[in-house]
Structure 1
Amino acid sequence: MVETLTSSPSIWRFNHRRWIPNLSSSYKTLFAFLWIVVFTSLFIWQRNFVDGLSIFRRPLLVRPLPRLRPVAFNLTDFGAVGDGVTVNTLAFEKAVFAISKLGKKGGGQLNVPAGKWLTAPFNLTSYMTLFLAEGAVILGLDDEKFWPLMPPLPSYGYGREHPGPRYGSLIHGENLKDVVITGNNGTIDGQGQTWWKKYRQKLLNHTRGPLVQIMYSSDILISNITLRDSPFWTLHPYDCKNVTIRNMTILAPLFEAPNTDGIDPDSCEDMVIEDSYISVGDDAIAIKSGWDQYGVAYGRPSKNILIRNLVVRSMVSAGISIGSEMSGGISNVTVENVLVWNSRRAVRIKTAAGRGAYIRDITYRNLTFENVRVGIIIKTDYNEHPDSGFDPKAFPVIRGISYSSIHGEGVRVPVRIHGSADIRVRNVTFRDMSVGITYKKKHIFQCAYVNGRVIGSIFPKPCENLDLYDEQGRLVKKSVSENASDIDYDI
């Protein structure tokens, strides 16, 4: 058709004295003309339809693609065997060592081909790309004897589950720059079932290790792979800068897979998490920054974090959490375009006396809740501490929390904001909220020690702690008291 149109440019010349008679006398020309009209109409309709769909998407930040490495190796070059039985730790170590010599030349890429590559934990190096081909599975040995012990994280002062050392991660990195973990949807599998069982039976003497942990590093990209069945937290960037995590699938059983958080940014800044699916046995995402007096002393906040375009599920904990370990401070976080489905809680902020620091300037927008028990939670009595050395008068500051375009159905309690006399929740804003509820009695919008405002009409009816404004920002009704308490944990 393109050739026909190109070879007959006279079709496009509009000479009505000659063209109309020719058209009426030529059946073929009339058919061609009608075909062009129909095709053009269809094209315009399709373009308008696609443009209409774009209202459901927000423009993505454009980040440069990582540079291709000048040298690439295959894991089999170092003697690895992908039969799921042979232990390939030495092959991974040799490959990483070879790449570590190439930093000044731009680094190297390690290709992991299809197969099941059993290994104990190993470390990454700077200027490295770890690429998992389709069908490639890195399997973690499930015997803790093969997992090295590491000192506790400095901002925790404790192994998190036990005093003293903790197990390292299956894939680990410290003080790195320019690291890429990607692939064609290959998998890193922690084989966590044995770990979970031993944890429940209290047979472990040290804190379980994450699946992937990158510490004190910058310029990290993790994309296009599946992470599953971590012994503990799945993906743990710790004290890192400029981290992008996208196009990920993160999985663990919804029950009896304790503490298998999906992604835990911890004392990180300048970070994007996007375009991913997470269904795990604890929080899908939990932003942290240290625990009590240890986090205060370490003093590294989590800040400038964007979380968007996710589908998440958590039957045990929450879809997106902030805290409870937040003693270095957490600020400037945006959570947008997120669906939380079939979960216990949707979005939660949790802290306690003894944490200190702050949670501030947090924006939630365009969230959808589908069949969740509690939609929005702010909890200030999450009293879990590493030891007795915390300051009980170190009260965190919570302020500047915004919720807009919140929708959903099948929600039992849409909002539960539980401040206290010592930890008041300040400057909370709700706008454009309509959540279908399954519990028709009172206490469906619960508040205590909170101030803020509601702009325009929202459903369900907000608590009386909040000022009411119309869409033009004019005060309609002043709150009765920010201290009024209407919390019912029985529903």
Structure 2
Amino acid sequence: MTRILPSFIIFLVTVLPSCAEGDKWKMAAEIEHSITLTSFPPDTFNISDFGAVANDTSILNTKAIEAAIMSCHSRGGGVVYVPAGTWLTGPITLMSNVNLHVTGNATLLFTTDYQQYLPPVLTRWEGMDCYNIHPLIYAMDATNIALSGKGTIDGQASDEAWWWMNGNPDYGWKEGMNNQKLAGRKQLLAFEQNQTPVEERRFGLEGALRPQLVNFNNCNTVLIEDLTLKNSPFWVIHPVRTDNLILRGVTIVSAGPNSDGCDPESCNGVLIEDCYFDTGDDCIAIKSGRNNDGRRWSIPSQNIIVRKCRMADGHGGVVIGSEISGGFSNLFVEDCEMDSPELLRVIRIKTSDCRGGVVENVNVRNVTVGKCSEAVLKINLMYEPGEECDRNFPPFVRDVTLENVTSCESQYGIYIIGLDGAVNVSDITLRNCSFNGVQEGASVTGAEGVKLKKVFVNGEKLKI
């Protein structure tokens, strides 16, 4: 069944026999070749040699791990080695030329003693600059750093620790408890709108703004490889203004609220490959700052490759937004598999006239989808309509291409929600796509230049 929502918005849909554009995928190869790779001296610094003790949860190994990292860094770099065993620790700060290697059968287990994550450090939270609770693994202004190994990094978040701060009773919050909605988030949103100096935006535990599991800021040349990351308090991997990043062979499992898997924010040159995502929010969400803070920095995310990844639960498989005020260009997604009744969307772009910015040159091919509950492609320019903000920044989405994408079950194949009274979505192309088990076909408003070639819904050629 094909359905068009009634609307006074004017939109243009055309069916073209072929694509006149060149092969954009050559750009993906150029991006990959341009990414600077990490390289470390062979020197190894075993945390046991610095006093760390395994398999004893009465011993906090923060200082021993810190000493190993500092020694490695001061001697020109190398590998900080975490051997087999369970190692309880507080927050870790990574330094330049250090590869923190968690070997197989080793677990870095982060304490749930909140006091260990104070004092606050400079970071970004939902696209807004602030000082907040120390991320579990953190770096600032570091070059040539890595997290590697076959081991596990466990944030120990649960309904009893961290997740309740979201304020949702489904995650352990109860009446009378503090939460981010009542405390820090509301205040931080006001700080952002008023452009309060960042030095004055300071939040401790009273703000209830949960920390990221991994947060790298202003870094360059980064590798995260082979690890299992689980039970994050908030976003799992959050690089900010970090270029030349490779995420490879990583398993991310975190079912908590806002447990985005990997959120590159204002990053340039990112490769995400052979990873598995099972998350409580978006699997991958590309960002570039929220509203005034994003416009103040005006640093887009750009040149990102996602390939050979598997996505299970999540609000979206590969997502752009919503904190995308700095803009985004050049995404290449290929050879991925996505399937879960708890996966809401496959490719998702979410923004609003609070955010502004331009999203362009999004390319997706050879993606196989089992089940997603809402849409294979969703573009929404009216995300969070109740947000209090300056709404004089209309966003634009253009030049989005999907080819050889198949799905077995969803509500919509294509779902585009443009702005009221404007056409800010353009040049959306689908080729050789087949969407089965679809309930409502396609819904498109506020878009022009939607081009279809050999696109089938429930076995019939799609007509919008």
**Alignment TM-score, normalising by the size of structure 2:** 0.80
Q: Does residue 191 of the first structure (1) align with residue 179 of the second (2)? A: no
Cα deviation, residue 423, structure 1: 5.3
Correspondence for 1:71: 43
Rounded to whole Å, the distance in 2 between the matches of 1:239 and 1:225 is 23
Aligned with residue 239 of structure 2, among 230, 234, 237? 237
Write out the 4+ residue segments of structure 1 that deviate beyond 6 Å after TM superposition: 62-65
Tell whether the 8 Å contact from 1:155 to 1:298 is kept in structure 2 after alignment. no
1:87 to 50, 60, 81: 60
1:113 to 65, 78, 83: 83
In structure 2, the partner of 1:178 is 144
Cα drift, residue 70 of structure 1: 3.5
CA 1:152–1:109 in structure 2 vs 1: closer, same or farther (change >3 Å)? closer
For 1:91-170, list aligned pairs within 5 A: 91-103=64-76, 107-148=77-118, 149-151=120-122, 153=124, 156-157=127-128, 165-170=131-136
Quote the offset at 1:117 in angstroms: 0.7
Please state if 1:219 is matched with 2:186.
Answer: no
Structure 1 equivalent of residue 301 of structure 2? 302
**Secondary structure class of the residue paired with 1:415:** strand
Cα distance in structure 1, aligned partners of 2:286 and 2:362: 12
Q: Hey, what's the Cα distance between the residues in 2 that align with 1:156 and 1:412?
A: 30
The answer to whether the 8 A contact 1:233-1:263 is kept is: yes
Greater relative contact order, per chain length (Cα 8 Å cut-off, separation 6+) = 2
Displacement of 1:463: 4.9
The answer to whether the 8 A contact 1:155-1:297 is kept is no
Gaps of 5+ in 1: 1-57, 160-164, 465-491
- Return the offset for 1:438: 4.3
Give the Cα–Cα distance (whole angstroms) in 2 for the partners of residues 463 and 174 of structure 1.
51
Contact 1:212 1:235 in 2 (8 A): yes
Distance change >3 Å, CA 414–CA 189, structure 1 → 2: same
User: What code does the residue aligned with 1:279 have?
Assistant: D
> What is residue 418 of structure 1 aligned with on the other side?
417
Q: CA deviation at 1:328?
A: 0.5
- Provide structure 2 residue ranges, at least 5 long, that are not aligned to the other structure: 1-27, 168-172, 180-205
Question: Residue 118 of structure 1: CA displacement?
Answer: 0.7
Report the Cα distance in structure 1 between the residues aligned to 2:336 and 2:78, rounded to whole angstroms: 35
Q: CA deviation at 1:324?
A: 0.5
Deviation at 1:99, TM superposition (A): 1.3
Structure (1 or 2) with the larger CA radius of gyration: 1
Amino acid at match of 1:347: I
CA contact (8 A) 2:400 2:428 kept: yes
Q: Which residue of the partner structure matches residue 336 of structure 2?
A: 338
Match of 1:447 among 439, 444, 448: 444
Contact 1:356-1:395 within 8 A present in 2 as well: yes
Amino acid at match of 1:218: N
Equivalence for 1:396: 395
Residue by residue over 1:379-433, the C-alpha shift from the partner in whole angstroms, topping out at 9 and shown as x without a partner, is 11112788x4x43111111111111111121222111011123352111111111
Q: What residue in structure 2 maps to residue 203 of structure 1?
A: 178
Judging changes above 3 Å, is the alpha-carbon distance between structure 1 residues 384 and 286 closer, same or farther for their aligned structure 2 residues?
Answer: farther
3-state SS of 1:456 partner:
strand
- For the 8 Å contact 1:446–1:463, the answer to whether it is kept is no
Change in Cα spacing, 1:378 to 1:140, as seen in structure 2 (3 Å) is same
Residue 150 of structure 1 and its aligned partner are, at CA, apart by 2.4
- For 1:219 and 1:67, locate their aligned partners in 2 and report how far apart those are by CA, in whole Å: 9
Q: Structure 1 residues 236-245 or 204-213, which shifts more?
A: 204-213
Query: Alpha-carbon deviations, 1:6-27, whole Å to 9, x = none?
Result: xxxxxxxxxxxxxxxxxxxxxx
Check 1:134–1:383 CA distance in 2 against 1; reply closer, same or farther (3 A cut): same
Counterpart position of 1:283: 282
**AA aligned opposite 1:196:** W
TM-score (norm 1): 0.75
Q: Which amino acid aligns with 2:214?
A: V
Match of 1:311 in 2: 310
| Aligned residue pair count | 389
What do you get for the CA RMSD once the two structures are aligned? 2.1
| Identical positions, percent | 31
- Looking at structure 2, the residues matched to 155 and 293 of structure 1 have their Cα atoms a distance apart, in angstroms, of 13
Supply the AA of the counterpart residue of 2:155: G
SS of 1:459 mapped into structure 2: strand
SS where residue 68 of structure 2 aligns?
Answer: helix
Q: Write the deviation string for residues 302-342 of structure 1: whole angstroms up to 9, x where unpaired.
A: 00001111001224x11111000000011111111111111
Paired residue type of 1:375? V
In structure 1, distance between residues paired with 2:386 and 2:151: 38
